[in-house]
Amino acid sequence: MDYLTILLGFVGGLGMFIYGMQIMAGGLENAAGSKMKTLLEALTKNKLMGVLLGAAITAVIQSSSATTVMVVGFVNAGIMNLTQAMGVIMGANIGTTVTGWLVSSVEWAEFLSPAKLAPVALALGVVMMVIGKRQRSKDIANIVIGFGLLFIGITTMSNSVYPLRDAPAFQEAFIKLGKNPFLGILAGLAVTAIIQSSSASVGILQSLAAVGLVPFGAAAYIIMGQNIGTCVTAILSSIGAKRNAKTAAIMHLLFNIIGTVIIGGLAMIYLEFINPVMAAGMISQTQISVIHTLFNIVTTVVLFPLSNWIIKLAKKIGRVDEEGVDPGQVYLDDRILETPSIALQSTVKEIGRMGDLVEQALDVCKRVLFTRKDEDIKYLKEEESVVDKLTNGISDYVIKISMKQISEKEHQEVAHMLQIVSDMERISDYTENISEFAEALKDKKVEFSDVAKAQLEEMLDVCVSSYSYALKAYVDQDKEMALKVIEQETKADDLEVKLRSSHIKRLAQNLCNTHAGIVFLDALVCLERISDHARNIAEEVLQQVAE
């Protein structure tokens, strides 16, 4: 028996299987990008919503490891707390079973046999890729091509190991794995840890089962080990992260180990003492999919009520409590970049947080020119420094997203983000200027006239509200709110001309202090420019909504 030929054929088939899975996942992710952004909003909901979210995202990107790595990134970025992370981790284990069902479909749907479907899928996908002009067509083409490659890969693996069905040593090895749960779990763990994909390791098991090599008992224990092995990727990704993020990886490991202990113990009792005949019989690809799915669903149902206890245990092991938010830190994580559509939505949230800080500064501006309190002046200067840090961090992250394989629409979204961040930063600069005006008034001990105060308050209301509308328009992608900004900005322009003319007349009549008059005019300029930048944000939103 030529073992080298068998090995080369198996490795080649595995490579094609993994590559097909990645191509299909990439196409699914791009095609479902907007839906995945909507799903991300569920992070603010309860733990059950997190389970559904984790299952949905994993079904799209075809990897529980990738989902859990993203969770580690979300926790590290402060986007997700540990309770939300727990729900997503549980759901990811369920979502990863989708690939196994695709592979096993050849048994329960004859028309899906690789020999018939894979060549057709590849041919159709290539035709769509060549003649398709729109990005969506190319995304669908990638899904179809990936599907074909995945099937060809699993067939190649099965064909390459077919001679081993007559090899006594190989059969004996699987029998031992079935009789020794610890060895079976260890084998599944090792293979999954090496290739870092439970979907791929389940595919390997199914390719061996297709030629009648795997006993039922061995498969059951190997599948349990695969669920533990998939934790390795998340643990590795948490190296260098904050303790909270490391705790998320520990939660994933604990969840799968506890599930394996409980379900593995029940399986051992059933297969060893109640139905040893089933344990010794050969397993099919579909039965592997059933066991994989049932194991993950039952584990989630059993451990869901105990999830808070698992979180506490993980915190104790990781020696961490929930960490507070540092407003100057950019809560975006490079781990999330592997799924650009979600990275974009995370960035939208972070821009929204930065926008809230600017809005808070503008609220202080509404009073600082009149009260001139030291704490307000200090706050505005510190807030501007925080916004500068956020601007640099967010812009760098957005550029990293642009370097990924993203759609044309997402490239346009990146451009809008960079412009909006720039406009927010400029507004923050003007809030600092206003704090300096307040400081100058305080140092010179001068006051505005009652008329000047009333006019400044009117201008502040118009310009601050224009920014508030602009921020809401961006966060909610609200066209009507964006149009309100344009109305307010036009009003601010007219008001600036009117108030400037009125104030110059007062200065000419010595009705106003000269120093206060200069500050008044400078403040008008700053406020009018704040409304200009608010309009820029609104126009970017209108372009996004129209695209």
What the chain holds in terms of domains, given with CATH numbers, is 3-318 (no CATH), 340-546 (1.20.58.220)
Residue 352 has what pLDDT? 93
Q: Which two tokens stand for residue 304?
A: 């869901």
Torsion angle of the four alpha carbons 288, 290, 293, 298, in this order, in degrees rounded to the nearest 10: -120
Q: Which residues contact 448 (CB under 8 A, 6 or more apart)?
A: 369, 370, 456, 512, 516, 520
Q: How far apart are CA 453 and CA 372, in angstroms?
A: 13
Torsion angle of the four alpha carbons 528, 533, 534, 535, in this order, in degrees rounded to the nearest 10: 90
CB 446 within 8 A of CB 372: no
CB 51 within 8 A of CB 57: no
Which tops the pLDDT comparison, 17 or 351? Answer: 351
Answering whether pTM is above 0.75, one says: no
Q: Which of 258, 181, 194 is nearest to 223 (CA)?
A: 181
**What are the two backbone dihedrals, phi and then psi, of residue 449, each rounded to the nearest 5 degrees?**
-70, 165
Q: How far apart are CA 330 and CA 350, in angstroms?
A: 8
Q: How far apart are CA 67 and CA 57, in angstroms?
A: 7
Give CA angle at 92 (86, 96), nearest 5°. 160
SS3 label, residue 282: strand
Count each helix (H run) and each strand (E run) in the chain, helices first: 23, 0
* Residue pointed to by tokens 């039965």: 287
503-536 confidence digits (pLDDT tens): 888 777 776 777 888 889 999 999 999 999 999 9
Which tops the pLDDT comparison, 168 or 128? Answer: 128
Bridge partners of residue 421, in order along the sequence:
none
Q: How far apart are CA 170 and CA 156, in angstroms?
A: 19
Q: Which of 19, 101, 2, 112 is nearest to 59 (CA)?
A: 101
Residue 260 has what pLDDT? 94
CB 53 within 8 A of CB 430: no
CA distances from 103 to 155, 235, 253, 393, 409 (A): 10, 28, 26, 43, 33
In which element (H, E) is residue 225 found? helix 216-229
423-438 confidence digits (pLDDT tens): 999 999 999 999 999 9
CA distances from 271 to 218, 359, 433, 498 (A): 10, 64, 76, 87
On the question of pLDDT at 78 being above 70, the answer is no
On the question of pLDDT at 103 being above 80, the answer is no
Q: How far apart are CA 342 and CA 292, in angstroms?
A: 27
Q: How far apart are CA 473 and CA 540, in angstroms?
A: 10
Q: How confident is the model at residue 22 (pLDDT cuts 50, 70, 90)?
A: confident
Q: Name the percent of the chain lying above pLDDT 90.
A: 40
Q: Which two tokens stand for residue 153?
A: 């890969």
CB 39 within 8 A of CB 347: no
235-285 confidence digits (pLDDT tens): 877 776 677 778 888 999 999 999 999 999 999 999 988 998 998 899 998
Q: How far apart are CA 203 and CA 97, in angstroms?
A: 10
Q: Which two tokens stand for residue 94?
A: 């369920």
Amino acid code (one letter) for 334: D
